[in-house]
Chain A
Amino acid sequence: MYNFEFEKPSTIADAVAALATEDAQALGGGQTLIPTLKQRLAAPSKLVSMGGIAEMQGVCVDDDGSVSVGGATPHVAVARDAAGSYPALAALAGQIGDPAVRNRGTIGGSVANNDPAACYPAGVLGSGATVVTNARQIAADDFFQGMFTTALDEGEIITSIRFPVPQAASYQKFLQPASRFALVGVYLARFTDGVRVAVTGASEDGVFRWSEAEQALNKEFRPDALMDLRINPANMIADLHGSKEYRAHLVSVMTKRAVEACM
């Protein structure tokens, strides 16, 4: 790992100022970033820790009923503190990595990284959440822009993520047991005005909405509504854990399971 400067500000304003240095990078829990640095795949001049910013910690329920999660909130806290207000999101957080990883890894870090097999991007996109930064609010549909790519500008910090709470939701993760990422994960959320289906782990373009499944489920909300639908395997990820066709098949299976879980 190349060396870097380190700062740990206690306010968002100080963090934004610290990130103005050329090649500075924000550090969440470091559960992806530190391994990346060890492999010398990144060489920031400075890391700015989000861990000392109290206003970016915790889960709260807003006046309109939506659930806001601070950008530096670790997975363990979401699994515990959102269990009452948004159980499907809490369940997703409780399936990330392993206990020690969940004690350090943060929602902001995961979402900003946008790993194509990470769990949180599916939860954020499936919920139609709003990513709140130090500068603006970004709808999930505009935020994720392909594998490891997001709408964030240089030095922009995810301060919180606001989730509208659906009538029912479920995250179905087909675990890749060595990495503990999703081989395929499907987050399904059913709102009064429609169903959203977000898929992670499957596509070379990163997390995506399966709109054909959403349309079918809006007509008829039962697993059989998906019977004739197939995902085109052409854009699916292929690696030693699964072929394109296997992943495409898993998307259907996991979506059906999510529907069953919401009935």
Chain B
Amino acid sequence: MKISMTVNGKAVSGEVEGRTLLSGFLREQLSLTGTHVGCDTAQCGACVVHVNGQAVKSCNMLAVEADGADVGTIEGQANADGSLNVIQQAFQDHHGLQCGFCTPGMVMSAAALLKDNPRPSEAEIRKYLEGNLCRCTGYHNIVKAIMAASGQDVGSIAAE
């Protein structure tokens, strides 16, 4: 089947099977390997992308279901000049990553959260990240980074 969609603002198309996952289409046909496949069972959230502005787990969505959609991936997050965007920079500044495997999904989930809720509380951030697993950081610095990215004081969050 032929599908077409917009990915990070660019029109793309490709030939897929019914069973081709969106994560597979992005990684294997478009070579956008920033979207990570961690568990492949929709638990870990490393594969989170935006489909028509909403966070979805791309390992749990068929590529054909994204036909005609506007898709955003981690590769489209940086600023136009190539510098890190506010959320990415905050992850760097606050050590919101160690191995980095979960980070693309974390950044995409954080972006989706801040679009709907520009100044989330610490509890709201932790709740929103329920579907994104990180095995390195213990989450504190991820939460801190998202607080900072939303322009809030991070002094109240547990120490680094």
Measured CB to CB, the residues of A under 8 A from B are: 1-6, 8, 27, 30-31, 34-35, 37-38, 46-47, 49, 51, 76, 97-101, 103-104, 178, 180
A104-B56 in contact given A30-B61, A98-B130, A180-B130 (Cβ < 8 Å): yes
* Nearest CB on A from B67, distance (A): 8
Question: What are the nearest 5 A-B pairs in CB distance?
Answer: A98-B131, A6-B18, A103-B54, A98-B130, A4-B18
* Nearest CB on A from B29, distance (A): 16
B: contact size bracket: 20 to 34
User: For the complex, what is the distance from the CA of A97 to the CA of B56, rounded to whole Å?
Assistant: 12
Instruction: Report if B40 contacts A (CB, 8 A).
Output: yes
* Nearest CB on A from B148, distance (A): 21
* Nearest CB on B from A59, distance (A): 17
User: Which of B41-49, B73-81, B152-160 binds A?
Assistant: B41-49
A104-B60 in contact given A3-B19, A4-B19, A38-B41 (Cβ < 8 Å): yes
User: For the complex, what is the distance from the CA of A8 to the CA of B60, rounded to whole Å?
Assistant: 17
Of the residues A30, A46, A100, A178, contact of B62 by C-beta under 8 Å: A30
Q: Say what secondary structure dominates the interface of chain B.
A: mixed
**Residues B112 and A99 in contact, CB atoms below 8 Å apart:** yes
Q: Say what secondary structure dominates the interface of chain A.
A: mixed
Q: Which residues of B contact A30 (CB under 8 A)?
A: 60-62, 65
Q: Which residue of B has the minimal Cβ distance to A6?
A: B18
Q: Which residue of A has the minimal Cβ distance to B57?
A: A100
User: For the complex, what is the distance from the CA of A30 to the CA of B65, rounded to whole Å?
Assistant: 10
Q: Which residues of A contact B45 (CB under 8 A)?
A: 98, 100
**Residues A100 and B18 in contact, CB atoms below 8 Å apart:** no
Q: Which residues of A contact B145 (CB under 8 A)?
A: none
Chain B positions 13-66 with a Cβ under 8 Å from a chain A Cβ: 17-19, 21, 40-43, 45, 48, 51, 54-57, 60-62, 64-65
User: For the complex, what is the distance from the CA of A35 to the CA of B59, rounded to whole Å?
Assistant: 9
Q: Which residue of B has the minimal Cβ distance to A37?
A: B19
Q: Which residue of A has the minimal Cβ distance to B39?
A: A35
**Residues B131 and A3 in contact, CB atoms below 8 Å apart:** no
Instruction: Report if B109 contacts A (CB, 8 A).
Output: yes
Offer 15 A-B interface pairs, CB within 8 angstroms, sorted by A.
A3-B19, A5-B18, A6-B18, A6-B64, A8-B65, A8-B67, A30-B65, A31-B60, A35-B42, A37-B19, A47-B18, A98-B130, A99-B55, A101-B131, A103-B55
